[in-house]
Structure 1
Amino acid sequence: MSIYVIRHTTPLIEKGTCYGQADIDVTEGFEEEAGIIRQYLPPDLQAIYSSPLQRCRKLADHLFPASAIRFDHDLKEINCGEWELQRWDDIPRAVIDPWMNDFVNVCIPGGESYVHVYERVTRCFNAVAATDTEAAIVTHGGVIRSILAHITHTPLKDSFAAFSLHYGCVVKIDRQGAGFQYELLSNISTGKEQHKPSYK
């Protein structure tokens, strides 16, 4: 039983913009990035799951045109609430610093904390793993870090340093005894991302 976890391709958004569940499109390099991803996927995957946000939906539809894709809201990126589509550097420091100092437990105003994301993501992942079928999950960076933190018992606060995941990466997860092991099959950088203020 292998689960192939895939991050969406490069999103069409200005660098330095805060986004999570904002339904943004992908760049014109989509087909080239998707072609790289396809090289690492077997032809006979039995179940396909995806975030319903279009940057994942488009990739899932493109990679698995003959499959019935199960779109699951638990696979969405973190809800950035009042900060969605604001420039990181425009969010007042008095507002953002409590979250920056403890993003694991502190909620974004009107949105989620990392713990909230982790709880819904691991619930979904465990349900997929319990089916014991070859599957693919098309999703987001924060979701994949939550899965990897879960199966490796990595503290959430350390997960960004522990797991460097670029757009279009492919992670293969296999059951190993009572747990799981993972292998990063593809992880090509398309440039440095910015998911926090420039002063941090």
Structure 2
Amino acid sequence: MKAYHIYLIRHGITQGNDEGRYIGSTDQPLSARGEQELKKLAGSYRYPDAEAFYTSPLQRCARTLEILYPDVSPRVVPDLRECDFGDYENKSMDDLKDDPGYQKWVAAKGGITPPNGESVEIFQKRCCAAFAGIVNELLRAGTTRAVVCAHGGTIMFILAAFGYPKYPFYRWMTGNGLGYEIVITPQLWMSAQAFDIAAPIPENAPDTGLSGLQSVMDALKQNSEN
């Protein structure tokens, strides 16, 4: 049976990322360092070939694809965008440390919605629905390889919702410019809306030191050897 390969890639670094700000719906460009590091990754490691390309509407994702895949015309998928943090957008923990509402939001670990922002449930529902739409489009067209450039939160929710092996949401955190290859078989997708998580990408790229990433990479390697 035909297998479909989708490569989920997180966008490059923005100034807000470097400053520890909540950059969700804020449409920041890549920082100079973000552009340089993506070009270094592209020059040092091989990113997988694909026939179709999709991106979040935010410019940091579109620019990431432009650097990694300079000759492609991606389709913009609005609901792949990052979570909207409402009144906390473009603010750091230090900016908000004296805000009682922010303290409650952090303590609730997503159990409450930020003021004028988006709930975890709505964010998860829309990004997973957007991804399912991409998969169904690929299946209908018979397109077997695609790249999706999105955000850390978007990718984590997609992998936690549909992927095997099963890990909690935060264990799927990945570095900027990095991501995962997933493999979809039509029978498994149609029967269970599930896919296999095959490997980190690009192959042999260094761990960025993000919490949990190395253990996931080790588990994926062990899983592929069994």
TM range (shorter): 0.7 to 0.9
Equivalent pair of 1:37/1:168 in contact (CA under 8 Å): no
Q: Tell me the equivalent position of 1:159.
A: 169
Q: Does 1:181 align with 2:196?
A: yes
- Larger Cα Rg: Structure 1 or Structure 2? 2
The residue type equivalent to 2:13 in the other structure is T
1:130-185 Cα distance to aligned partner (Å, 9 max, x none): 22321111111000101111113858xx411x223111112101015512111212
Q: Could you tell me which of 88, 92, 98 is aligned with 1:87?
A: 92
Structure 2 counterpart SS, 1:173: strand
1:2-29 Cα distance to aligned partner (Å, 9 max, x none): 0000001111235232221111122223
Q: Tell me the equivalent position of 2:20.
A: 16
Distance 1:125 1:171 in 2: 14
1:76-105 Cα distance to aligned partner (Å, 9 max, x none): 111011111122122234211332233434
Segments of structure 2 that go 5 or more residues without pairing to the other structure are 189-193, 212-226
Structure 2 counterpart SS, 1:171: strand
**TM-score of the superposed pair, with normalisation by structure 2:** 0.74
Q: Does 1:4 align with 2:7?
A: yes
Greater mean deviation of Cα atoms: 31-40 or 136-145: 31-40
Equivalent pair of 2:87/2:115 in contact (CA under 8 Å): yes
Tell me which protein shows more helix as a share of its residues: 2
Q: Does 1:36 align with 2:46?
A: no
What is the Cα deviation at residue 106 of structure 1? 1.6
Equivalent pair of 1:82/1:111 in contact (CA under 8 Å): yes
Instruction: Give the alignment's Cα RMSD to 1 decimal.
Output: 2.4
Segments of structure 1 that go 5 or more residues without pairing to the other structure are 194-200
Aligned residue-pair number: 189
The residue type equivalent to 1:148 in the other structure is L
Q: Tell me the equivalent position of 1:119.
A: 125
Q: Tell me the equivalent position of 1:196.
A: none
Q: Does 1:65 align with 2:64?
A: no
The residue type equivalent to 1:107 in the other structure is T
Greater mean deviation of Cα atoms: 81-90 or 101-110: 101-110
Distance 2:174 2:153 in 1: 9
Structure 2 counterpart SS, 1:5: strand
Q: Tell me the equivalent position of 2:177.
A: 168
Distance 1:122 1:61 in 2: 24
Equivalent pair of 1:23/1:55 in contact (CA under 8 Å): yes
Identity %: 26
**TM-score of the superposed pair, with normalisation by structure 1:** 0.82
Structure 2 counterpart SS, 1:118: helix
